[in-house]
Amino acid sequence: MFISLFFGGLTVAMLTAIAIIRSAHLHEHLSMDGDLSGPQKFHTTPTPRVGGVPIMAGLMLAAAVAWCEGLSEIATLLLAGLPVFLAGLVEDLTKRVRPLYRLLFAFVSAAMAVWLLGAVLPVLGIAWLDEALTALPWLALLVTVFAVGGVCHATNIIDGYNGLMGGVAMTMAAALAYVSFAVGDTALLAISVSMMGAILGFLVWNFPRGMIFAGDAGAYLIGFLLAEVSVLLVVRHPGVVSPWFPMLLMIYPVFETLFSIYRRKKRQAAAGLPDSMHFHQMVYKRLVRWMVGKREAKHLLRRNSLTAPYLWSVALFSVMPATLFWQYEWVLQLCCALFVLMYVWLYRRIVQFRAPRWLVLRRVESDARSKLIVRSR
């Protein structure tokens, strides 16, 4: 069944994505991201930004297959995620839905998951806070809704370059699938495997050429599913899966969001406005753009695609230890602290033009130019 879920979601997402790409001339007035000049725009041609549609289509096929096998949780989770998906899709089509409204719809989806699946975090692995959550059930509900909504928003923030968000989400879904298998949770394993298939079906067309973007619908939907599967693992297996497992697993997008809030507050900038100082943008400007510096379209595309592998590596520094030590709370807490230190250190070095040499690849254009100079002499 799990093979059917993976390849079913993969196939439907791939076919739906290519259908959208091939028919772009019919819906370009709605679906195209034609703004090439914004602070978070790094593509060279107008591109469909409705990649959430093929991802949802793949997941719906997987939900139908799972339903026939007696597993209804995928369908229930997709139903709960419908508000945030639709809010993101409306933004993708109209470009008029404010970030605050999308965040509110993420809270609505999280509240629906609480109602339909009982997805409320019982503990957070912090003694005094765990006592408060046990004594005040409404506080546990609010914390869960806020956390899920935050992960949705954080996933959207890292969706900036070809393959970046999709690649990070694939590794996280794989980690969730592994832990679900380890604890024998068939339903959550089915959801995780379905996610992997649907995301990969989209990623085939998104990386490296960027033929379709996930958009807000895709990023918010993926963030919602990752967060809810994480919550359900902790809820269904208390004392086995540490609540710090999902924290370490998703610390890259979550800390990126918290650090961005701190950075904007320090600069007295509006928190809701886009800027060009995110970690992935610094990697692009201070590392990748230097390596591939020409302004030709093929070099712009190459720079865009070279950025994602850097951030995949950063994400793996949290995903790998989370997968290995999902039961050991103190190890997970230590790894969270180490990741934060590594992130801040790397960010400061890159911003100050002092990036470690092992991060800088050889610049082909510079080498070619130097050879020409030597020959002319």
DSSP H helices in 123-163? 127-135, 137-157
Q: What is the pLDDT of residue 299?
A: 59
Cα-based distances in Å from 257 to 73, 80, 154, 283: 29, 24, 6, 16
**Tell me, what's the pLDDT at 304?**
80
Rounded Cα distance between 148 and 113, Å, is 10
The three-class DSSP label of residue 13 is helix
Q: State both tokens at 226.
A: 């990752």
Please give the pLDDT value at position 274. 64
Torsion of CA 183, 225, 173, 49, to 10 degrees: 170
**Can you say whether the dihedral through the CA atoms of 304, 90, 64, 241 is positive or negative?**
positive
From 128, 39, 116, 36, select the one nearest 81 (Cα to Cα): 116
The domain locations on the chain are: 2-376
Is-above-0.75 flag for pTM?
A: yes
Question: In the prediction, which pLDDT does 369 show?
Answer: 44
Cis amide leading into 48 (omega within 30): no
pLDDT at 291: 58
For residues 194 and 27, is the Cβ–Cβ distance under 8 A?
no
- Encode pLDDT of 123-169 as tens digits: 999 989 999 999 999 999 999 999 999 999 999 999 889 999 999 99
Question: Over the chain (377 residues), what is each successive 10-residue block's mean pLDDT?
Answer: 93 96 86 58 71 96 93 94 96 90 96 95 90 93 96 93 94 97 96 97 92 94 97 94 96 94 78 73 80 57 82 95 95 97 94 83 49 37
- Taking the C-alpha atoms of residue 143 and residue 123, their distance in angstroms, rounded to an integer, is 10
